[in-house]
């Protein structure tokens, strides 16, 4: 079997985001969950045309196709997790700088309101899913998606995400999703990267 998809390296050490995200959580979340999506996708695309296609092409082509749900779910989860790791860095979070600072003021009612609304999207996503800050038609928007659903199957450009599947926080926070979400917002969100994604 060929294995066209590989687990991208973490952009920092597995303990770099502690204590917000412990090395133990990272070991399972990146080392087991993220890796399993890669292994599953390699099995599912083996011998198909998808084996030669990019992850984003596969996601766009299989979104909404019930017969391809397994391929979509694993491909989207690979992409979403890689994007999540790249939405955070140590000693970050809090108020943004640059173009996003002014866009949050003009489009989302200021940082305090953004923080409340972004956390609320993450906390109220029922069951498994993701909260997103996206750029859509030149404006910022907050979205939430269920399970593996991802904004890149539509027209929005993701800028930041938080994984709110229980596996993202249960070892460190048990059922306290709100504590996990607020700690990520306050201490880990990588606004520099988000500004780069905006082309700022
Ligand atoms: Mn996850």
In this predicted model, what pLDDT tens digit does every residue of 126-185 receive, in sequence order? 999 999 999 999 999 999 999 999 999 988 999 999 999 999 999 999 999 999 999 999
pLDDT tens over the chain, length 200 residues:
778 999 999 999 999 999 999 999 999 999 999 999 999 999 999 999 999 999 999 999 999 999 999 999 999 999 999 999 999 999 999 999 999 999 999 999 999 999 999 999 999 999 999 999 999 999 999 999 999 999 999 889 999 999 999 999 999 999 999 999 999 999 999 999 999 999 85
Which residue in 48, 105, 80 sits closest to 162, CA to CA?
80
Question: What does the alpha-carbon distance between residue 86 and residue 82 come to, in Å, rounded to a whole number?
Answer: 6
Q: What are phi and psi of 148, to 5 degrees?
A: -95, 0
* % of the chain with per-residue pLDDT over 70: 99
Q: How far is the CA of 162 from the centre of ligand 1 (A)?
A: 9
Q: How far is the CA of 140 from the centre of ligand 1 (A)?
A: 24
Domains in the chain: ranges and CATH:
23-85 (1.10.287.990), 98-198 (3.55.40.20)
Q: At what angle do helices 98-108 and 191-198 cross, to 10 degrees?
A: 80
Q: How far is the CA of 136 from the centre of ligand 1 (A)?
A: 24
What's the pTM?
0.97
Q: How far is the CA of 78 from the centre of ligand 1 (A)?
A: 9
Which DSSP string do the residues of 46-68 spell out, in sequence order? TTSGGGGS-HHHHHHHHTT-GGG
- pLDDT the model gives residue 118: 98
Which residues, including other chains, have CB under 8 Å from residue 55's CB and lie 6 or more apart? 5, 75, 78, 79
């Amino acid at each position: 079997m060929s294995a066209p998809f590989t687990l991208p390296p973490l952009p920092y050490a597995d303990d770099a985001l502690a204590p917000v995200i412990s090395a133990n959580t990272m070991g399972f979340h990146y080392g087991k969950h993220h890796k399993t999506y890669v292994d599953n996708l390699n099995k599912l695309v083996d011998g198909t045309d998808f084996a030669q296609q990019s992850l984003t092409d596969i996601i766009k082509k299989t979104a909404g196709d019930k017969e391809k749900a397994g391929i979509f779910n694993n491909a989207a989860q690979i992409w979403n997790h890689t994007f999540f790791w790249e939405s955070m860095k140590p000693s970050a979070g809090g108020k943004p700088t640059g173009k996003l600072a002014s866009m949050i003021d003009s489009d989302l009612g200021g940082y305090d309101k953004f923080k409340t609304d972004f956390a609320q999207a993450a906390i109220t996503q029922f069951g498994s899913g993701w909260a997103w800050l996206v750029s859509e038609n030149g404006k910022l928007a907050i979205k939430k998606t269920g399970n593996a659903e991802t904004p890149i199957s539509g027209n929005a450009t993701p800028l930041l995400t938080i994984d709110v599947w229980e596996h993202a926080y249960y070892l460190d926070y048990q059922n306290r999703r709100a504590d996990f979400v607020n700690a990520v917002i306050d201490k880990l969100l990588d606004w520099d990267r988000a500004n780069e994604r905006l082309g700022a």
